[in-house]
Amino acid sequence: MPTEISPQDGLPRCPWPGDDALYRHYHDNEWGRPVTSDTRLFEKICLEGFQSGLSWITILRKRDRFREVFHGFDIAKVAAMTQADIEHLLLDAGIIRHRGKIAAAINNARRTLEIQQEFGSLAAYIWRFEPQPGHRADDYSWSALSAVAQTDASRALSKDLRKRGFNFVGPTTCYAFMQSMGMVNDHIETCFCRPEVEAARAALQRPVR
């Protein structure tokens, strides 16, 4: 079983953060831990869109600047951004300068406001797509988990988001979103985070509004 063990603390981890300190901090403290904040969920939808075709560590290293230029991912403020804002952001080397992805973040904020109006919160909408326990495999080895790029649940979420007008929300992107936001626990079975995430998910009160 390929489990990463830090020479600093001796804790067994999933292999994917490697030796990068920022990546390990993200793995240890964020990835897989359930999120019900609309702001954080929206931020992750946007950043997963920017990641498309790139590595997550690239986005993670630019996340602070993304937060600055997108108003802390305040949904209403991002929804109010204009074409002039897009042109300005295309000059900002601190983010991913991709016109389509910048425009998608603004569009997706507007679509998120519609979801909040319909469901009461983005979280209430998103967590409706959490897969049921019986739909999850029992093999949490690295070889098994790393082979899964999308699932029935991520395809359903992707299909519904696209129907609502969201962009850059394909089924693989949606599965990465579900993994990171704690809708599934894909820490490998020997990772020290896995039981912590399981406990957090067991204690979570799923949002309904």
Active site residue 189: no
Burial class (CB in 10 A: 0-12, 13-18, 19+), 141: middle
Residue length of the chain: 209
Active site residue 142: no
Q: Which of 23, 31, 56, 127 is catalytic?
A: 56
Query: What are the phi and psi torsion angles at 4 (to 5°)?
Result: -75, 130
Tokens 């896995």 found at: 194
Asked if residues 202 and 14 have their Cβ atoms less than 8 Å apart, the reply is no
Active site residue 48: yes
What are the residues facing 5 on neighbouring strands?
12
Q: Which of 4, 43, 48, 130 is catalytic?
A: 48
Spatial separation of the C-alpha atoms in residues 118 and 125, rounded to whole Å: 9
Q: Catalytic residue positions?
A: 26, 48, 56
